[in-house]
Chain A
Amino acid sequence: VTSLIADPGLAPIGERKIEWAKTWMPVLRLVRDRLREEGSVEGRRIAVILPLEPKTAYLAAMLREAGADVAVAFQGSMVHDDVAAGLAARGVEVFARRGSTREEELRYFEEVLARRPEVVIDDRADVIRLAHTTHPEVLEDLRGASEETTSGVVALRAMEADGTLKVPCIAANDARCKYLFDNRYGSGQSTVFAVLDRTNLLLAGKRFVLVGYGWVGKGIARRARGAGARVVVCEVDPFAALEAFHDGFEVAPLLEACATADVVMTATGVRGSLPPEAIARLPDGVLLANAGGVDDEFDVAALGPGREVRPGVVRYEAGGRSVDVIGGGVVVNLSAGEGHPVEIMDLTFAVQAMSARHLLLHADELEPRVHPLPPEIDEQIARWKLEALGVRIDSLTEEQRRFLRSWEAFA
């Protein structure tokens, strides 16, 4: 096992962090036991391309514990060196270092691809795209990929539409056990609190402009309101806008909303969501952060030179006004915080692990397209989580089932 990491000596610190995550991931432990018993990942090559922090580390570690050969890589802005070291010590090959250069990152991804993975668990479809563009030989062994993010699924669908997608992909993001919880409660809590933790400021009474009301936006709006903010939603989609309105939020066009904002958060997954004319309208002292999966939701470089005014907070000044950017425009819960809460990632990574299993067992039956996680697997994960939480639910009676099946009942 050869890893490329910053400092193997950090392993004990990283190990403790991974162990804490494991403690709060009962479903993932259950999935590990199941995979181990059935031997479905034994000796199989799996690549995990996810921000390298304790929760993802445990996903990689549990796949390893279940018998898979696991390689991990990611961009340096979201790598915890101690966790990387802890994971390497658990027998996973790790290619990641905080603050790595673009060249190093390319090398890291190439190292992972050189291991000829059978399944890639990908983030933003970065490595799947790399395999299709510059490393087509990798596609021979690649049975399929499972994609974590909304933005990545969009990219894969575009590849499917123009006929370039060569392997079956599972849109893990679109599993209900993922987006209903991870995107909404996970992003909601962790992005709002990353801003509060980094700034030590109060949210009560603040005008919080939220750009984008997808699942991530819905979670942010709810948590920002929960912390006392007055939330204004900006949307381009009429359904999402109407939903925000009925959820009790003010809805306004971006340029208007920006003029009275105390905090602006983007969550669109679209580059250039906050154009220069919107930024020009921001009042002095506004806080700005990106919660979306795309780094360029607003253009940090265009803000000019900045200076750090608190750890993780950079101030940009122009025309007598200042804007304080938290987390450098990169998804704020990871760039300025510890990412999603552990229990949420228990669900998400159970989806990923079951997705990888499904691809290993059934890729031959799948077209090279974007597929959903089979709904019965999704439902099974939800039931496991409820069981772990000690929450019991009801089931339909035979009569109710019959009623639902028989359209004649309405006659």
Chain B
Amino acid sequence: LSAAARSRIADPSLAPAGEQLIAWVAGHSPVLNQLARGRLADGALRGRRVVVVVHLEAKTAYLATLLAEAGAAVVVAGSNPGTTQDAVCAALVARGIEVHGTHGASPDEFEADLMAAAETAPEIVIDDGAELTSRVLHRRGDLADGLRGVTEETTTGVARLRALEEEGRLTFPAIAANDAWSKHLYDNRYGTGQSTIAAILRLTNLAGAGKEFCVIGYGWVGKGLARYAEGVGGRVTVVDVDPVPALEAYMDGHRVAGLEDALAAADVVITATGSVDALAAGTLAHLKPGAILANAGHHDREIDVDALGPGDEVRPGITRHELDGGRHVYLLAEGRLVNIAGADGHPVEIMDLSFSVQALAAHLLASTDLEPGLHRLPAELDREIARTKLATLGIALPEPRPVDIAVR
């Protein structure tokens, strides 16, 4: 069967539009083009079965393309039906890659797509939110034996893998790609920060200036959100349950408050906890009338969308929900990741770094026999990514002296 015959996508005729988007990404991905492509060329991935389960848009597609170019048998599935772009899927299939995903897939279709990817018995999985890994372990434990390893994109997914490791169920190596400096310092902070705030402004056509933003969760994502919200003229209140990031937010000059007080003053509420029910049913009563709600965290369940009740679409990507007491609020992108569901996701240059981490991690899994358990990307590879990025920017660093290395 051809890749096209094995795939489930919406419309193959969209390929030219998707091809254009992938070409644009290729043109702005110097680290993937130089470092990753060079590293993958050694043949370590030749013939390896690799499954990529990441938000299925142009940047992910370009990563999949590079892996296929290096000889891997690549299968791609979306990590969230709301973020899958049909044109990009079509272009990937046209490039001979097997794809399972459609925009707006039903929960059943989504499950079937992920399981179809799992059935290909991958040796290496590039995962997002551990969506595929957890399904393999829960439903097809037999396939875990064939896994050389998993590399995980998100904070949420790494937390899931860590939990599996603690239960003694991580029987294969997993690389916490998210924990590489070249990933979380840039992707989670600047990538999510810029693209989330931009998506909110784009979806609403509203002004950032003078708005009260409430950021729930002050991890790397929350830090980026707060910085970019300020950058568009907003005032930021941070809510966090952990005293350390809460204090960090305070020192960064933000207002820190309890959830109820923060919600009462917020024009825009953004969840970024990586957990569930950050905005739970019981807290909705505190929302200001007309508040805009958006999620920047991995789970569609950070905002309790069911508790909001049915909504009317008042603009593409915006639903209006009536609450008790004649109040109403607006929900963006149905509570899904707003930067991907409502726009094009992270900036290309950021994903150039993140996916270079993924490409080198996949290469490491293919070429080295790692112990089962959770690993981080070796610091030398991490530094090499940063150094390559700097070099493409025309920035050269002084050679470290022995003393610099000694204190590092």
Contacts and interface: CB of A to CB of B under 8 A. Distances in A.
Interface of A: 16-17, 19-21, 23-24, 54, 185-186, 189, 193, 196-197, 199-205, 222-223, 225-228, 285, 308-310, 313, 337-339, 341-344, 389
A225 B28 contact: no
A200 B20 contact: no
B353 to A, nearest CB: 10
A54 B191 CA distance: 30
Contacts of A222: 233
A342 B21 contact: no
A309 B24 contact: yes
Nearest to B394: A260
Contacts of A342: 204-207
Contacts of B209: 185, 189, 341, 344
Given A226-B230, A226-B233, A341 B207 contact: yes
Contacts of A204: 190, 194
Contacts of B228: 226-227
Nearest to A341: B207
Is the contact region of chain A dominated by helix, strand, or loop, or is it mixed?
helix
Task: List the 10 shortest-distance A-B pairs measured between CB atoms, nearest first.
Answer: A226-B231, A202-B347, A341-B207, A200-B344, A202-B349, A185-B209, A343-B207, A204-B190, A338-B205, A310-B24
Interface in B191-227: 191, 194, 198, 201-202, 204-210
B207 A197 contact: no
Contacts of B347: 196, 200-203
A279 B208 CA distance: 33
B122 interface: no
B23 interface: yes
A310 B190 contact: no
Nearest to B208: A189
A69 B289 CA distance: 35
Interface residues of B, number: 36
Contact of A16 (B27, B202, B314): B314
B206 A341 contact: yes
Interface in B226-260: 228, 230-233
Contacts of B21: 310
A344 B210 CA distance: 11
Nearest to A346: B207
B348 interface: yes
Contacts of A227: 194, 228, 231-232
Contact of B232 (A226, A310, A313, A339): A226
Contacts of A338: 202, 205
A193 B24 contact: no
A223 B315 contact: no
A199 B350 CA distance: 13
Contact of A185 (B190, B204, B207, B343): B207
A222 B233 CA distance: 9
B345 interface: yes
Contacts of A343: 206-207
Given A202-B191, A202-B350, A225-B231, A17 B208 contact: no
A263 B220 CA distance: 27
A226 B236 CA distance: 14
A54 B206 CA distance: 12
B230 A16 contact: no
Interface in B14-44: 20-21, 23-24, 27-28
Interface string B285-325: 00000000000000000000000000000110010000000
Interface in B23-67: 23-24, 27-28, 58
Contacts of B190: 202, 204, 228
Nearest to A194: B202
Contacts of B231: 223, 225-228
A142 B58 CA distance: 54
24 contacts: A16-B314, A19-B314, A20-B318, A21-B205, A185-B209, A185-B233, A186-B207, A189-B201, A189-B207, A189-B233, A193-B201, A200-B58, A202-B350, A205-B393, A226-B233, A227-B232, A310-B21, A310-B24, A338-B205, A339-B205, A342-B206, A343-B206, A344-B207, A344-B209
